[in-house]
Amino acid sequence: MALIVKKFGGSSVATPEKIMAVAKRVLQEKNPDDKIVVVVSAMGDTTDELVGLAAAITDKTSGREMDMLLATGEQVSIALLAMAFAELGQPAVSMTGFQAGIATNETFNKAKITGITPDKVWQELNAGKIVVIAGFQGLTETGEITTLGRGGSDTTAVAIAAGLKADHCEIYTDVDGIYSSDPRVVATARRMKEITYNEMLEMARLGAGVMHPRSVELGKHYDMPIHVRSTFTCDSGTFIREEYTMEEKEFVIRGVTHDANVAKIAVLGVPDRPGMAYKIFSALAEANIDVDMIVQSVRALDKHIIDVVFTISQGDVPQAGSILEKLNAEMNFSGLTIEEQVAKVSVIGAGMLGNPGIAAATFGALADAGINIEVISTSEISISCLVAADKAKEAVNAIHNRFFPV
Amino acid sequence: MALIVKKFGGSSVATPEKIMAVAKRVLQEKNPDDKIVVVVSAMGDTTDELVGLAAAITDKTSGREMDMLLATGEQVSIALLAMAFAELGQPAVSMTGFQAGIATNETFNKAKITGITPDKVWQELNAGKIVVIAGFQGLTETGEITTLGRGGSDTTAVAIAAGLKADHCEIYTDVDGIYSSDPRVVATARRMKEITYNEMLEMARLGAGVMHPRSVELGKHYDMPIHVRSTFTCDSGTFIREEYTMEEKEFVIRGVTHDANVAKIAVLGVPDRPGMAYKIFSALAEANIDVDMIVQSVRALDKHIIDVVFTISQGDVPQAGSILEKLNAEMNFSGLTIEEQVAKVSVIGAGMLGNPGIAAATFGALADAGINIEVISTSEISISCLVAADKAKEAVNAIHNRFFPV
């Protein structure tokens, strides 16, 4: 007997036909005594359509009413999927977030799950039913309907799996697992059998789009293995878990990512006095602007002057620009440049720590390809290089080929 | 200060523009210290669309999953209407059936309200908000979402009004009140200022379509006045209440209705022995067929033979026919006819009891118009005559003119 939570996203349940296909898919792999929970998102474009209705009425929607509105999307999907199971002869029952015992805090639009009380879920599982649960939603202590925001349905699935102490949680997507790099960029990218929570989080942070970090963090917290796999095939995908099993250890590097949503800011000629860097970065932090790669260098010829280079998301450029202009008026920089024609290329691998050759191999791969590195930053399990935007794909391929020789 | 519950149906909230118009309409009449609850149905064709989605998946939908699906329709409306109030500067909050404390039994698809616990509603009303409540839905003791079936949103409105001890409940419709007859049939039909619960129930039973009897019964039970009025004008409509106020007493007759959904069945030549009529009507009752007007007559020339004539709904004709054919094989009637070219014309008025002239005036009006009466039946507050279907409208006008002279 296995207890498995399976999550299907909006595109997998976009039409009644696709909903029926999901039901068949689930039954195809179900052993007679398996206990199965299915978490689903809203059908296809439903959420956009609901947002459109609200936009036709007001442009200042309250979080509460928006959640009341959006939560209907998943409620439609769960009812239809439960009907599909019944049509196929499989007893099933749908549950809204509150029926499944998903408690959240009161932060409408991006509520956080505060607890799972899956009594009703257990009751129905023990009665031999498949339980179909609405993703993306919950209920506050005071009985308000909330939605979880980005990555919400994956988060629901992992949270329910943790609450039920399931064997693992399966996330069905339109790709068949986690790849060593984006297959659209690197033709030889390999599907990983396994990857650790930390590596997955680092990959997501550095530009890999398959999994939202939120659900991975929850999986890590509860040590709930997450199986990322294809909606369309029965092949095994990638398991995200705490540690590899033996056979996956051959590759120290687990992924090569790139992120084009980067802008490089150079603040030149800052007097080298205590608190100058603090002044710049605290002003940006106050405006909620995330600063990523930071390099501070003292000038060789004038040791009292420093240059500061860092990166931010391109969306933050206008606001950061005006903050820095204000500081410039006060601190009188010798130069201030903002450049968006850059991209961040990263290698990720938990085994990197005990392997000092990784950084050298990365830089060597880029050098051999004739690609200039503008900024470098490292974490415990990643190395990132800022390169010219038009060299990004070439850089990813060069690094990937070095670590995953064909 | 007044506490009023207002209900708007699906066609009143069919589009974002109409929802905004409803919000404006409500605010137009609201005094600053009024407490207002608005109950709404699903937008326009939403319910049909949801039924269509289910039909694309299965033709054996369970009651529970259908209710899970359909309840989303009202949840969309309430969120959008609450947003519309906010857009107009009026604090408002939406509530699903369960949030408003609407408890029902477990009869999915046509659940009955078992209680109202409007604590949350009071809390928000006292905070100065308009509370927008989803009609047509509730929650069972075990946390299952139910819908109330036909007349459900009106029933929600009256139940909430009773639970809050509101001053009255307003039902907004596309007609501007209850008329003495269908204005499409009788050009001189008059809008009633008042009508009693019993008269309204009798009119609904006898073919008037404005109000579903269920909500009127609930209003009668809790003595909650129901104000039926137009969505489009601010005119006062018709109050349904226990007793008239003085000025409405001038008309003993409150309405003239007709119902074309009638079939006349004649069972001729039944031996006049105890239990013969019982045999016929119990067979029909077992098949859940409602029998309406019944006339049993002993033949003048042969006192041992009776003829039985009665009416049923046209939808029940095929089933009733086969039941009666079976009985015929056993009892050997001398004749059995089923006729659908008939209509029932009725006059309704609570004042009829102390007014013996009403029946005579009704029959006289029909006689003067040369219309033959096939069957007559009476209740405490109504007289019904079966006439040929093609004479129905003429009959209604003849009777109406007699009681409401122009």
Tokens coding B18: 């109409």
Q: What is the CATH number of the domain that holds A333?
A: 3.30.70.260
A289 shares a domain with A156: no
Residue ending a domain, among A339, A355, A388, is A339
A23 shares a domain with A140: yes
Residue A162 lies in a domain: yes
Q: Which of B53, B93, B108, B132 to probe the A interface (max A CBs under 10 A)?
A: B53
B167 shares a domain with B19: yes
Residues of A at the B interface (Cβ-Cβ below 8 Å)?
16-17, 19-20, 50, 53-54, 56-58, 60-62, 64-66, 68-69, 71-72, 75-76, 78-80, 82-84, 86-87, 93-94, 96, 98-99, 120, 143-145
B271 shares a domain with B148: no
Instruction: With CA atoms as reference, report the closest residue to B254 among B406, B400, B405.
Output: B400
B239 is in an annotated binding site: no
Model pLDDT for residues A66-95, shown as the tens digit of each residue: 999 999 999 999 999 999 999 999 999 999
Residue A245 lies in a domain: no
A125 shares a domain with A9: yes
Question: Which secondary structure element, helix H or strand E, spans residue B394, and what is its range?
Answer: helix B392-403
Lowest mean pLDDT among A98-112, A163-177, B201-215: B201-215
Instruction: With CA atoms as reference, report the closest residue to A376 among A303, A292, A300, A299.
Output: A292
For B190, residues 6+ apart whose C-beta sits below 8 A from its C-beta are: B179, B180, B404
Q: Which of A57, A98, A102, A120 to probe the B interface (max B CBs under 10 A)?
A: A57
Per-residue pLDDT of chain B (406 residues; tens, 9 = 90+): 899 999 999 999 999 999 999 999 999 999 999 999 999 999 999 999 999 999 999 998 889 999 999 999 999 999 999 999 999 999 999 999 999 999 999 999 999 999 999 999 999 999 999 999 999 999 999 999 999 988 899 999 999 999 999 999 999 998 899 999 999 999 999 999 999 999 999 998 888 878 889 999 999 999 999 999 998 888 999 999 998 876 556 678 889 999 999 999 999 988 877 788 888 999 999 998 999 888 887 776 777 788 889 999 999 999 999 999 999 988 888 889 999 999 999 999 988 877 778 899 999 999 999 999 999 988 889 999 999 999 999 999 999 999 988 7
Q: Which residue has the tokens 């014309």?
A: B345
- Round the average pLDDT of chain A to a whole number and report it: 92
Residue A76 lies in a domain: yes
A164 shares a domain with A42: yes
Residue A169 lies in a domain: yes
Residue B189 lies in a domain: no
Residue B356 lies in a domain: no
pLDDT of residue A232: 86
* CB pair distance less than 8 Å for A57 and B83: yes
B35 is in an annotated binding site: no
Residue ending a domain, among A146, A173, A200, is A173
A120 shares a domain with A17: yes
Residue A348 lies in a domain: no
Q: Let me know how long chain B is.
A: 406
Q: What is the CATH number of the domain that holds B145?
A: 3.40.1160.10
Q: Which residue has the tokens 């978490």?
A: A39
* CB pair distance less than 8 Å for A16 and B57: yes
For residue A248, is pLDDT > 60?
no
pLDDT, mean of residues A138-158: 95
pLDDT of residue B243: 87
CA angle A369, A374, A379 (to 5 degrees): 95
- Count of domains observed in chain B: 2
Instruction: With CA atoms as reference, report the closest residue to A72 among B9, B20, B45, B46.
Output: B46
Between A401 and A303, residue with greater pLDDT: A401
- Comparing CB atoms, the residue among B19, B60, B69 nearest residue A80 is B69
pLDDT of residue A299: 73
* CB pair distance less than 8 Å for A83 and B65: yes
pLDDT of residue A84: 98
Model pLDDT for residues A182-218, shown as the tens digit of each residue: 999 999 999 999 999 999 999 988 888 788 899 999 9
pLDDT, mean of residues A300-318: 86
Give residue A249's pLDDT band: very low, low, confident or very high (50, 70, 90). Answer: low
A174 is in an annotated binding site: yes
Strands (E), B231-293: 238-241, 255-259, 263-271
HSE toward the beta carbon, residue B266, CA cutoff 13 A? 12
Residue B235 lies in a domain: no
Give residue A246's pLDDT band: very low, low, confident or very high (50, 70, 90). Answer: low
Residue ending a domain, among A307, A339, A371, is A339
B11 shares a domain with B154: yes
Domain that holds residue A273: 263-339
